[in-house]
Amino acid sequence: MGKLPDFYERFLENFPEVGKTYNELSAACMSAGPLDAQTAELIKIGVSIGGRLRGATRSHTRRALKAGASQEEIRHAVLMATTTIGFPGMMTGLAWVEEIFQEERE
């Protein structure tokens, strides 16, 4: 996996307690139910695309790959957004996901 974005790394350096607390909340949300990491990350990709959040979509794409999701599974999760947020929104999300796939190939 690629390194964290520079801006996020600087945030963690400048606000370590906030970063620590945020990561703890994330872990608590993950452990609060029966979903495995791969499924949770695919859901988060969909939520991020629906929210039009480029950084979150890219982050959760990286995390989904790390959790074992295939590119095909990720693309399917993105495609599912079509009938909820519309074709243009799905295509925007797909472009963000494909950016990560391209970075992984480099």
DSSP state string for 14-48: H-HHHHHHHHHHHHHHHHTSS--HHHHHHHHHHHH
Q: What is the pLDDT of residues 57-78, one digit of tens each?
A: 999 999 999 999 999 999 999 9
Q: What is the pLDDT of residue 37?
A: 96
pTM: 0.89
Q: What is the pLDDT of residues 7-50, one digit of tens each?
A: 999 999 999 999 999 999 999 999 999 999 999 999 999 999 99
Q: Are residues 25 and 44 in the same domain?
A: no
pLDDT bin (cut points 50, 70, 90) of residue 94 is very high
Q: Are residues 15 and 3 in the same domain?
A: yes
Q: Are residues 40 and 86 in the same domain?
A: yes
Residue range of the domain that includes 85: 36-105
Q: Are residues 9 and 22 in the same domain?
A: yes
Q: Are residues 40 and 84 in the same domain?
A: yes
